């Protein structure tokens, strides 16, 4: 596996980790409403900065409703 393939694999795994964390948090705080979900919460959960999330997702709709 070359460098490019490894990078794609890493990016896909990272995206999936973010989606999983966001969905778990969304389910946990669902009773508070969609408006209460903040983009920084999934990044705090997995230990990345909030700006990293925006490299992969445009916003919370893109994150919460992506199909992976």
CA distance 58 to 15: 12
> Whole-angstrom Cα distance, residue 52 to residue 32?
25
Whether residue 30 is predicted with pLDDT greater than 70 in this model: the reply is no
The arithmetic mean of pLDDT across residues 7-12, rounded, is: 88
pLDDT band at 19; cut points 50, 70, 90: confident
Percent share of the chain, pLDDT over 70? 90
Residue spans per domain, the chain: 3-64
Q: Which two tokens stand for residue 59?
A: 């916003």
d(CA 37, CA 45): 13
Stated length of the chain:
68
Which two structure tokens, joined as six digits, stand for 56?
């992969």
What mean pLDDT do residues 44-68 have? 84
Asked whether residue 33 carries a pLDDT value surpassing 60, the answer given is yes
The CATH code that applies to domain 3-64 is 1.10.10
């Amino acid at each position: 596996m070359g460098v490019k393939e490894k990078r794609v694999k890493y990016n896909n795994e990272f995206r999936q980790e973010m989606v999983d964390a966001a969905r778990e948090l969304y389910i946990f705080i669902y009773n508070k409403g969609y408006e209460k979900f903040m983009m920084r919460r999934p990044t705090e959960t997995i230990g990345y900065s909030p700006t990293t999330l925006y490299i992969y997702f445009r916003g919370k709709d893109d994150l919460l409703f992506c199909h992976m």
